[in-house]
Structure 1
């Protein structure tokens, strides 16, 4: 199997875990989202530290926050990703998994917009059309449901913000995420101590719940490692295409397993989003192919015979 094929399978694995994670959190709907978030932070920290220790990279952790700038970036990233995790878990518990999937469909388009705003990346015509269609979908859904799709907007914008912030870091994904959960760890431990002192904590209540809360750390770590593995072996265009497996699985879980309502307004909004993603992905694919052709031509022309 080629490295590229291994990368595609790794990306599929990461997106499958993310896409089906709603089922996992639905099974924990007896545990408050804040408590799950704390355990996700705690056991994610344990896993990442053990992984870095095994790889002999634990000593690189302080370098992720060695300057005031990197400390601030990591701290802000930790705050944003914890907001994203909390809203996602809450959306599953409250029966808004369909809206959560919409958020992760919107995310790539929000990331394109943020790239233009914060990094002055030029938008192609196809990207502009895609962003406009996504905005139209949000407006139409807001009018139809008479309320803004806050879950979708918070998930899309928080994850796009997280990506924009992390772009300013040179640290690898595993080390940077370990630094993030390390910053969140004192708050997680403090909150768990408070709820357990009141007798409201669920860890230790029964074996199944305790094991699932511990497993939430793996749910955080494993897809990130697979994603990191994939990004080194496949093109960004391929990653962009495969990542839609995640919200598609979320959407199928919400509608087919959770049996959430899917109105005409949802259908119109999703149709616009899917159209926007087709335009965006096709454009990215063409640009990627053109760039590779230019690179090959340059390599050929520079060959000395």
Structure 2
């Protein structure tokens, strides 16, 4: 890969993860709109926006191929439900000012992926990776027993996104086409829900210009970082993309403290440090495993 293309890939990757990291600032603007209603609009307008993008890029072929294989759409539907759950929990976390728990969920996701790969796909993992997963599990148990709370936002975000990645391995679609098909499958449900809200007179769409514009913008806000990520993935090694991934929850963590003023008790900080150490161990293991040539 030419240095110029690599630099461009890093720029795309930074853009994608910085945008994702700043999502709390965006979704905090939806104050007063239930998280599930925001998700319904996000599904609807993402589908519409992605249809325009796919038409502009002339990328309908993989979409047609996917829709022509109904037997494999079950995996796509599973992905769609999981990503909708992930979106809903995340937006709820922002609206209820629990962004620290959300950021911990995304810090935890790579380790959940490792655990799911080992348990479900029977993938072999190194001893260091086992240590990392065990340390992450200890951090969650620490919150459960010593803090007396069930970090359900953290767990739902990590496991919904981790399981989403697991199912996504079964679908031969790139990120752009895959997200479009996923939102397309949920599109009829979104329309029915919006019509029901309108009929009941409780819809927030049209309530004010600001809220309406925010709901309409959710499609572009969802798709633009994905396009930047796709540009990074095509130009960078997977390991580089993996390291850039930590930018997203780090920014969320800082926003939770600096903007939303969420309290960070010593006990909660301890659980974060345990996850960060686990991620450091996992990253070192992945990097050293990549750097060590395989035996003939």
Q: What's the TM-score bracket when you normalise by the shorter of the two chains?
A: over 0.9
What is the distance in 2 between the residues matched to 1:153 and 1:65? Answer: 32
Q: Which moved more, 1:192-201 or 1:35-44?
A: 192-201
Q: What is the CA-CA distance between 1:45 and the residue it aligns to?
A: 0.6
Q: Which moved more, 1:60-69 or 1:247-256?
A: 60-69
Aligned partners of 1:134 and 1:272 also within 8 Å: yes
Q: Deviations over 1:63-110 (max 9, x none)?
A: 213324311000111011100000000111112111010000000000
Q: Which residue of 2 aligns with 1:238?
A: 240
Q: Deviations over 1:32-57 (max 9, x none)?
A: 11111011111101111001111222
Note the residue ranges of structure 1 that are not aligned, 5 or more in a row: 299-305
Q: What is the CA-CA distance between 1:290 and the residue it aligns to?
A: 3.0
Q: Which residue of 2 aligns with 1:56?
A: 58
What is the distance in 2 between the residues matched to 1:144 and 1:258? Answer: 25
Aligned residues: 294
Aligned partners of 1:48 and 1:174 also within 8 Å: yes
Q: Which residue of 1 aligns with 2:206?
A: 204
TM-score by length of 2: 0.95
Q: 2:98 aligns with which of 96, 99, 102?
A: 96
Q: Does 1:290 align with 2:292?
A: yes
What is the distance in 2 between the residues matched to 1:118 and 1:228? Answer: 27
Q: Which residue of 1 aligns with 2:278?
A: 276
Q: How does 1:179-194 map to 2 (within 5 A)?
A: 179-194=181-196
What is the distance in 2 between the residues matched to 1:167 and 1:204? Answer: 39
Q: Deviations over 1:123-176 (max 9, x none)?
A: 111111110110010000112321210000000000000001001111222111
Q: What is the CA-CA distance between 1:7 and the residue it aligns to?
A: 1.1
Query: What RMSD in Å do the two structures reach over aligned CA positions?
Result: 1.6
What is the distance in 2 between the residues matched to 1:196 and 1:17? Answer: 32
Q: Which residue of 1 aligns with 2:175?
A: 173
Note the residue ranges of structure 2 that are not aligned, 5 or more in a row: none
Q: Does 1:111 align with 2:113?
A: yes
Q: 1:139 aligns with which of 129, 138, 141?
A: 141
Regions of 4+ moved over 4 Å: none
What is the distance in 2 between the residues matched to 1:112 and 1:94? Answer: 30
Q: Which residue of 2 aligns with 1:302?
A: none
Aligned partners of 1:77 and 1:166 also within 8 Å: yes
What is the distance in 2 between the residues matched to 1:69 and 1:150? Answer: 33
What is the distance in 2 between the residues matched to 1:118 and 1:230? Answer: 28
What is the distance in 2 between the residues matched to 1:246 and 1:283? Answer: 21
Partner SS state of residue 2, structure 1: helix
Q: Does 1:220 align with 2:225?
A: no
Q: How does 1:23-38 map to 2 (within 5 A)?
A: 23-38=25-40
What is the distance in 2 between the residues matched to 1:143 and 1:94? Answer: 23
What is the distance in 2 between the residues matched to 1:134 and 1:188? Answer: 36
Aligned partners of 1:64 and 1:175 also within 8 Å: no
Q: What is the CA-CA distance between 1:59 and the residue it aligns to?
A: 4.4
Q: What is the CA-CA distance between 1:189 and the residue it aligns to?
A: 1.1
Change (3 A) 1:59 1:233: closer
Q: 2:10 aligns with which of 8, 18, 41?
A: 8
Q: Which residue of 2 aligns with 1:301?
A: none
Aligned partners of 2:62 and 2:173 also within 8 Å: no
